[in-house]
A and B are shown apart, each in its own frame.
Chain A
Amino acid sequence: MTMPAKNYASTRFSELDEINEENVKDLRVAFTFSTGVNKGHEAAPLVVENTMYIVTPYPNILYALDLTKPGAPLKWAFRPNPEPTSQGVACCDVVNRGAAFSDGRIFFNTLDGHTIAVDAETGAAVWNNKVGNINIGETITMAPLVVKDKVLVGNSGGELGVRGWVKALDAKDGHVVWTAFSTGPDKDVLIGSEFKPFYDSDKGEDLGVSTWPPNAWQIGGGNMWGWISYDPDLDLIYHGTGNPGPWNPDLRPGDNKWTAGIFARDPDTGAAHWFYQWTPHDMHDYDGINEQILLDMDWKGKPRKVLVRPERNGYIYILDRTTGEVLSAEPFGAVNSSKGVDLKNGRLIVNEEKAPRTGKLVRNICPTASGVKDWEPSAFSPRTGLLYIPHANLCMDEQGVDVNYIAGTPYVGMEVRMIPGPGGHRGEFTAWDIANERPAWKIKENFPVWSGALATAGDVVFYGTMEGWFKAVSARTGDLLWQFKTSSGIIGQPVAYRGPDGHEYIAILSGVGGWAGAVVSGDLDPRDRTAALGFAGVMADLKDVTAPGGTLYVFKLP
């Protein structure tokens, strides 16, 4: 458990099988811990050598709990004291998605743009490097990934005209080894002789400049606030790029490279190897930063190294991760903003009827700006061949408006109000049969499922709901096997670990918030349906069923 995604392939699959379909009904609380923070808890707990590490939302406290003692008492707490003003430039609650462990150190990011290395044993800071600037709207919310001797970090700020980047910091002293921007000239994007994209639309010089109106790329977004995977055999990292800014597409004609896509890069130099754009000239805030699950599997009778991406625009993409070729793209939720993906040229087929324009109100666009699936990571079980995807079922009305760029303030230019999707339920938990390109089963949830998923070798899958239920379902059938009501809504990432006593434990952070839960954690007024970038109105009743407050829950068998 040295990284939130469990492994470099990001399967979030635990080999532990002590807790299984038969006995999961007996799960009970082993211990709890209050984080003392009332914002959205999106992080995954880490467990390394009998210590559990949790990082909270702003003020980004790093707690270490001693698992060898009864009740897992606090070993130490590290308080980085980020600048309070950073809360004013965080687009969608002041979340943090977790820490990473490597070589005796815990690495994590703070909302005000610092990457910090802390000694895992003593809790003393080893190094602290400020890589983001809140005065231009830059924050950091993502969980870093350590690959070899480098800590990979990306920025947030796609709603504030922040130019996206990924940086590699030296794990020893924190100095920046390379920076790869998501927009601008090839030398800034680290596109060179090794760059061999599969599709023609990604070939050409300085496309990160020429696919934008003059200079718009400088405030064009493409932020990397999500997940990175790594293939040690190919020695490539994979990371998405966020939405182009501003949201109003009329203000930035062109494909807006290299936003809303995915890069394969050399971890040592950052050099781009290939790129694929999920959503060229994105019109709906379809950030491309979700997790990518790296699998070696038979695809149509041939062994392939694939990359599976449940994407915000509503499709599950299967890519050949050596070349960036799209092998499959099937919708896994309600989609009408596009009509599929043309597998000949890899391009998303846009539905112009659902294109928002300045001054034009377009109704019932599916999915919403938050996508069929947002950041909340899915899990893959090799035992079932299914991908377990937590996601939403929402649509929206949109109207483009003019917007001024003022550094450090929002740069969106879109009025949004969301509505429940077809069927009226706002969330779904889908088990997707990757090989057969279809859902195996689906669970409907009242609210969007904003927590991550965990699959275990006991054929149990865990996830949480925004009302606060922590659920265990059968990996094969989706039948509910056990549930526990936590103190607040759940938007965290469940993990399984083997405790010092040799037994399997399941851990989850409860504490509602995030974009979907901002109506509660930010105490917003849902009478304004456009509040929280359109999310508040459709979540108005969340205030009636849960309240903010961060608590760690850890479960075990009796």
Chain B
Amino acid sequence: MKMRTLALLAGVAILLTGCQREERDTRPDPVKGAGDQAVPVTSLAPGGERPVDTDAKAARFADNAFHMSEGKRLFDWFNCSGCHSRGGGGMGPALMDDKWIYGSSIENIHATIRDGRPNGMPAFGGRVPDDQIWELAAYVRSLAGKSSKAAAPGRNDDLMPHPSENRLPDATTLGRSP
């Protein structure tokens, strides 16, 4: 009996140490309005292609399960869902398809939320802490199936408007507009 408990404990210990734990940034930077990096919204550049700048923060937030689940919560809190619904769009464009007016990279989406866009997207910079904008941007990518299935949010507890984010197909594979 004792041996079995010990073996079980040892097994659990091995399992725990064997897992790579995702780092949880539970106290994100409360500072508003940071992230002033300019992000081009087009890949066309005079004089030929330019190397794409990546933001140092991008890697911290993209494909991070905790940040994406926080982004999902904030998507409601800041009324993103009021215009974009659960990704299908409404007053604003759909986010779960493969049409990205202002770019699909997490940097592009972050800039879109921060600076707004001229045809109706409000500028949330200065109103929403920068880290939370990154969390929103990471979540938006999951709606289009552009993030790791292992990290994207799972099913809702309430009304399910579409399959959960970790089961949504990568929009680029849909082949045609839905």
If the complex has contacts A531-B85, A532-B88, A536-B90, are A88 and B119 also in contact, measured as CB distance less than 8 A? Answer: yes
> Is A523 in contact with B99, judged by CB distance below 8 angstroms?
yes
Q: Which of these, A88, A92, A527, A529, contacts B92 with CB under 8 Å?
A: A88
Task: Identify the closest chain A residue to B89 (Cβ).
Answer: A524
Q: Which of B38-46, B107-115, B132-140, B155-163 contacts A (4 or more CB under 8 A)?
A: B155-163
Size category of the binding interface on chain B: 20 to 34
> Is A525 in contact with B158, judged by CB distance below 8 angstroms?
no
> Is B93 in contact with A417, judged by CB distance below 8 angstroms?
no
Q: Which of B57-104 contact A (CB under 8 A)?
A: 76-79, 82-83, 85-94, 96-97, 99
In the complex, whether B122 has a CB less than 8 A from a CB of chain A is yes
In the complex, whether A522 has a CB less than 8 A from a CB of chain B is yes
> Is A85 in contact with B161, judged by CB distance below 8 angstroms?
no
Return B1 CB to nearest CB of chain A, in Å: 46
Return B178 CB to nearest CB of chain A, in Å: 5
The distance in angstroms between the C-alpha atoms of A412 and B93, with both chains bound, is 18
In the complex, whether B51 has a CB less than 8 A from a CB of chain A is no
In the complex, number of A-B residue pairs with CB atoms less than 8 Å apart? 124
> Is A410 in contact with B120, judged by CB distance below 8 angstroms?
no
> Is B161 in contact with A410, judged by CB distance below 8 angstroms?
no
> Is A525 in contact with B96, judged by CB distance below 8 angstroms?
yes
> Is B159 in contact with A525, judged by CB distance below 8 angstroms?
no
Task: Identify the closest chain B residue to A246 (Cβ).
Answer: B82
The distance in angstroms between the C-alpha atoms of A536 and B162, with both chains bound, is 12
> Is A525 in contact with B178, judged by CB distance below 8 angstroms?
yes
Q: Give the number of residues in A that approach B within 8 Å (Cβ atoms).
A: 41
Q: Which of A512-529 contact B (CB under 8 A)?
A: 518, 522-529
The distance in angstroms between the C-alpha atoms of A244 and B14, with both chains bound, is 58
The DSSP consensus for interface residues of chain A is loop
> Is B120 in contact with A85, judged by CB distance below 8 angstroms?
yes
Return B116 CB to nearest CB of chain A, in Å: 8
> Is B89 in contact with A530, judged by CB distance below 8 angstroms?
no
Chain B residues with Cβ under 8 A from A412's Cβ? 82
Task: Identify the closest chain A residue to B78 (Cβ).
Answer: A406
Q: Which of these, B78, B83, B94, B162, contacts A529 with CB under 8 Å?
A: B162
> Is B88 in contact with A524, judged by CB distance below 8 angstroms?
yes
> Is A361 in contact with B90, judged by CB distance below 8 angstroms?
no
> Is A84 in contact with B96, judged by CB distance below 8 angstroms?
no
The distance in angstroms between the C-alpha atoms of A523 and B177, with both chains bound, is 9
> Is B119 in contact with A528, judged by CB distance below 8 angstroms?
no
Chain A residues with Cβ under 8 A from B151's Cβ? none
Q: Which of A315-323, A327-335, A396-404, A431-439 contacts B (4 or more CB under 8 A)?
A: A396-404
Query: Which 8 A-B residue pairs are closest in the complex by CB-CB distance?
Result: A88-B120, A410-B82, A528-B88, A531-B88, A525-B94, A409-B79, A530-B161, A531-B85
B residues engaging A (CB < 8 A)? Answer: 76-79, 82-83, 85-94, 96-97, 99, 118-122, 158-159, 161-162, 177-178
Q: Apart from A409-B79, A532-B88, what 16 extra A-B contacts exist at CB < 8 Å?
A: A84-B120, A88-B91, A88-B92, A399-B158, A401-B158, A415-B158, A415-B159, A523-B177, A525-B88, A528-B89, A530-B85, A530-B88, A531-B90, A533-B85, A533-B90, A543-B177
A residues engaging B (CB < 8 A)? Answer: 84-92, 159, 359, 361, 397, 399, 401, 403-404, 406, 408-412, 415, 417, 518, 522-533, 536-537, 543
19 contacts between A and B (CB under 8 A): A84-B120, A85-B120, A88-B91, A88-B122, A361-B158, A401-B158, A406-B78, A411-B79, A523-B89, A523-B93, A523-B97, A523-B99, A523-B177, A524-B93, A525-B89, A527-B178, A528-B88, A528-B162, A531-B90
